[in-house]
């Protein structure tokens, strides 16, 4: 069967820039899958998606004019319903066949096959393959229906009566199979072979497409449009680098993939220009200037090699005039008031200290069940003071004092003009204002860092004070939300509790903090007034424990290895877990490991059925050779393993215990634990308890058993 390449384009008004890439991929992807499902593509067919501000398009190679015929076997009904006692067709069967376009002559050719407990009749037929017009019509409507559009527009068609719903008004439809137009319709439009190029710079209008394969080249040459999202993005990257090199001095355009994608979705033929603003604005914190240029104007700030902001920036224009001075001047005039606003906010904010703003937080609602931000920082301060005391010990109160002070001021910048205008700068501006107030650097850094880690892979706070305040802030949020029942459900987590819990885990692990999670959550719940929260500490502990296990599994450890290390008896400080995990992995590779893990699991099950057996053994009551041999082996191995454990050499401790495999196996083969004589039974249980205690200091080895 001969095939040709297919092009489908939907020409619309300007699409939402932040969603353009997703819309383009979804449109082309669904269209391709639908064509494939109808047998109109081949195994060699290749899809190319196009997306520009005013078009969604797809190019598919090797598309047939008609799909291949397909053999279909259709279940009709149970044999008992379709045939009477004499084997003749019942009226129900004849009616069913008639609906399928067959008559009584087809009864003889029906097949019988088991269907559950009964036998059913099946009708084999051949379905004619869909024509391209039929298949593409269905595929296009499906692609339009499945576009990931949060909100649609309703607009009238040219007849003045009909209306349609779509993300933006559509004005053109192209469908070319080779050079032939495919007769399809959508959104009140009939397919043709013409589209429109750049609003201002197209050489011709409309742009006539000769065939499907000339789409991108024709649009680029005659329409002044780079249709491919990826090609347009790469062109912008290339021009940004070239413009930065032209500026010189080692400057480089800021690296921001989200901004790059958004700008790519705003222009059809990019033209990068160099602009500048007055150097006096560089006295404002560069985070403010960068944010206003990126968020409000979609400009690319230029950074010097040191990371310091330059007073020059790059604009991606959608037009390419011979004299670009008017475009450059216009952008410079537009950005100046934005930067002036930022300078004004910064100057005004510094007239008041952060400490003087704390009282204003009492008027900022945090949560209707948990009070104001002022009440919240009181709780965070109490938690921070206790954590600081835990980490510093009795000999140094400075850490706790600095942590308490940083916690008290951590949210004060929420009531500044700058953060009111740019909420993304909370914490960042707090640091600048703290330094302006003459506060120590560790307190200022902690104010900025207490939001960290803000996302997966984000850096952690840079100093101990910041770590304490970040822990306190996250623990207060977790305790408060768990205490009032605001828990994550499924994929919904409006208060980012999973992220907060993972942040707690990361700080405990990666900062090697000798803190117990159960003590931390106790302190967090204690910071709230009596009666405000339900008792949810256990639930919160389990929630954070789940995040810990996920964090460790993401590090490359198996679920069994993680469970063994995390559930080691008496293990409270999580910073010790990485060494235990490494030891468990080394142990699991030993040939003795499976048998010892299985024996450990068996011992655990035996001990669970007894009431508080002491880990004590009387050598006089050891009668069987196997229990005597096990006791003797333990007398030699256990002290050595214990010494290695106390020295922190967990891997060596577990390897030493591997020598117990043979005597443990012999014990279970030759000794009855539940002897009728009470003193013998208790002594053997004591022997197992002693063995269990020795084997599980590093990890719960029973969890390695399959």
Q: Residue 119 belongs to what H/E stretch? A: strand 118-127
How far apart are the C-alpha atoms of 196 and 202, rounded to whole Å? 8
Pair of tokens at residue 431: 């640091």
pLDDT of 688: 87
Classify residue 213 as exposed, middle or buried by CB count within 10 Å of its CB (0-12, 13-18, 19+): middle
Q: Are 374 and 362 in contact (CB under 8 A)?
A: yes
What pairing do the DSSP bridges indicate for beta strands 189-190 and 185-186? antiparallel
How far apart are the C-alpha atoms of 208 and 223, rounded to whole Å? 10
The label of the residue with tokens 């082309």 reads: 28
pLDDT of 394: 57
Q: Which of 365, 362, 363, 367 is nearest to 532 (CA)?
A: 367
User: Over 486-554, what HEC string results?
Assistant: CCCECCECCCCHHHHHHHHHHHHHHCCCCCEHHHHHHHHHHCCCCCCCCCCHHHHHHHHHHHHHHHHHH
Q: What is the DSSP letter of 228?
A: -
Task: State how far the alpha carbon of 237 is from the alpha carbons of 230, 265, 314, 321, 584, in Å.
Answer: 11, 14, 11, 20, 47
For the chain, 706 residues long, the average pLDDT of each consecutive 10-residue run is 90 94 95 92 93 96 82 79 82 83 79 83 76 91 90 83 88 95 93 94 95 96 96 97 94 95 96 96 96 94 95 96 94 95 95 96 94 96 95 75 95 95 95 96 97 92 96 97 92 92 95 93 96 94 95 92 90 89 90 87 84 80 87 90 91 90 88 85 87 89 84
* Interacting residues of 49 by C-beta distance below 8 A, sequence separation 6+: 24, 25, 27, 28, 29, 57, 58, 228, 229
Pair of tokens at residue 347: 């100057």
pLDDT of 1: 60
Q: Which of 270, 345, 280, 274 is nearest to 314 (CA)?
A: 274
How far apart are the C-alpha atoms of 359 and 679, rounded to whole Å? 70
Pair of tokens at residue 375: 């009440």
Q: What is 574-704's CATH topology?
A: Isoleucyl-tRNA Synthetase; Domain 1 (1.10.730)
Pair of tokens at residue 684: 């053997």
Q: Which of 425, 421, 414 is nearest to 365 (CA)?
A: 414
> Could you give the dihedral angle defined by the CA atoms of residues 223, 227, 20 and 303, in that order, rounded to the nearest 10 degrees?
-100
Domain boundaries, the chain: 3-67+131-222, 70-127, 229-349, 370-556, 574-704
Q: What is the DSSP letter of 573?
A: B
The dihedral built from the CA positions of residue 522, 524, 525 and 529, taken in this order, carries a sign that is positive
How far apart are the C-alpha atoms of 584 and 695, rounded to whole Å? 12
Peptide bond between residue 453 and the one before it cis (omega within 30 degrees of 0): yes
pLDDT of 267: 96
DSSP code string of 665-704: HHHHHH--SS-SSHHHHHHHHHHHHHHHHHHTSS--GGGG
How far apart are the C-alpha atoms of 240 and 318, rounded to whole Å? 14
Residue-wise over 379-396: b if at least 16 C-beta within 10 A, else e? bbbbbbbbbbbbbbeeee
Q: Are 467 and 406 in contact (CB under 8 A)?
A: no
pTM of the predicted model as reported, rounded to 2 decimal places: 0.81
Polymer length in residues for the chain: 706
How far apart are the C-alpha atoms of 619 and 572, rounded to whole Å? 34
pLDDT of 424: 94
């Amino acid at each position: 069967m001969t095939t040709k390449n297919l092009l489908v384009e939907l020409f619309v008004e300007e699409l939402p820039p932040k969603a353009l890439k997703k819309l383009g991929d979804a449109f082309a992807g669904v269209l391709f899958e639908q064509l494939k499902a109808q047998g109109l593509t081949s195994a060699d067919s290749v899809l190319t998606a196009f997306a520009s501000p005013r078009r969604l398009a797809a190019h598919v190679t090797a598309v047939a004019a008609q799909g291949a015929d397909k053999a279909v076997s259709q279940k009709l009904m149970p044999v008992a319903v379709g045939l009477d006692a004499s084997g003749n067709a019942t009226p129900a069967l004849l009616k069913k066949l008639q609906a399928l376009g067959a008559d009584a002559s087809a009864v003889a050719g029906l097949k019988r096959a088991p269907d559950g407990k009964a036998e059913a009749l099946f009708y084999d037929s051949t379905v004619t393959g869909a024509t391209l017009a039929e298949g593409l019509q269905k595929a296009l409507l499906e692609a339009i229906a499945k576009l990931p559009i949060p909100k649609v527009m309703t607009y009238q068609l040219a007849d003045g009566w009909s209306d349609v719903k779509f993300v933006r008004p559509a004005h053109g439809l192209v469908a070319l199979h080779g050079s032939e137009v495919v007769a399809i319709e959508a959104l009140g439009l009939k397919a043709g072979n013409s589209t429109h190029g750049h609003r201002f710079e197209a050489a011709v209008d409309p742009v006539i497409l000769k065939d499907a394969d000339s789409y991108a080249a024709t649009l680029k040459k005659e329409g002044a449009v780079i249709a491919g999202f990826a090609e347009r993005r790469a062109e912008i990257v290339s021009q940004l680098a070239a413009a930065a090199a032209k500026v010189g001095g080692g400057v480089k355009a800021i690296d921001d993939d989200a901004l790059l994608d958004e700008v790519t979705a705003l222009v059809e033929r990019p033209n990068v220009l160099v602009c500048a603003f007055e150097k006096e604005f560089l006295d404002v914190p560069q985070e403010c200037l960068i944010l206003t240029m990126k968020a409000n104007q979609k400009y690319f700030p230029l950074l010097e090699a040191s990371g310091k902001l330059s007073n020059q920036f790059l604009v991606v224009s959608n037009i390419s005039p011979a004299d670009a001075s008017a475009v450059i001047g216009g952008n410079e005039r537009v950005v100046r008031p934005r930067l002036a606003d930022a300078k004004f906010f910064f100057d005004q904010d510094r007239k008041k200290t952060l400490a003087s703003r704390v009282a204003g937080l009492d008027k900022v609602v945090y949560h209707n069940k948990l009070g104001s931000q002022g009440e919240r920082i009181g709780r965070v301060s109490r938690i921070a003071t206790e954590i600081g005391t835990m980490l510093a010990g009795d000999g140094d109160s400075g850490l706790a004092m600095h942590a308490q002070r940083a916690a008290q001021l951590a949210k004060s910048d929420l009531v500044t003009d700058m953060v009111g205008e740019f909420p993304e700068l909370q914490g960042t501006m707090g640091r600048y204002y703290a330094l302006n107030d003459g506060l120590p650097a560790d307190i200022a850094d902690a104010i900025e860092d207490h939001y960290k880690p803000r996302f997966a892979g984000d850096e952690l706070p840079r100093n101990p004070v910041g770590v304490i305040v970040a822990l306190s802030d996250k623990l207060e949020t977790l305790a408060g939300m768990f205490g009032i029942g605001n828990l994550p459900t499924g994929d919904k987590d409006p208060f980012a509790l999973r992220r907060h819990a993972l942040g707690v885990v990361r700080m405990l692990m990666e900062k090697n903090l000798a803190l117990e999670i159960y003590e931390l959550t106790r302190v967090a719940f204690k910071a709230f007034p009596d009666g405000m929260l339900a008792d949810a500490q256990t639930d919160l502990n389990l929630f954070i424990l789940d995040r810990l296990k996920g964090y460790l599994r993401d590090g490359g450890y198996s679920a069994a290895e993680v469970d063994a290390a995390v559930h080691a008896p008496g293990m409270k400080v999580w910073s010790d877990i990485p060494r235990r995990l490494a030891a468990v992995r080394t142990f699991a590779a030993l040939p003795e490991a499976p048998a010892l893990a299985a024996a450990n699991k068996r011992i655990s099950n035996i001990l669970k059925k007894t009431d508080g057996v002491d880990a004590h053994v009387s050598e006089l009551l050891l009668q069987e050779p196997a229990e005597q041999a096990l006791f003797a082996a333990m007398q030699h191995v256990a002290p050595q393993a214990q010494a290695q454990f106390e020295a922190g050499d967990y891997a060596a401790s577990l390897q030493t215990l591997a020598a117990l495999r043979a005597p443990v196996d012999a014990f279970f083969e030759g000794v009855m634990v539940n002897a009728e004589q009470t003193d013998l039974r208790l002594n053997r249980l004591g022997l197992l308890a002693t063995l269990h205690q020795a084997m599980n200091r590093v990890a719960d080895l029973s969890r390695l058993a399959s």
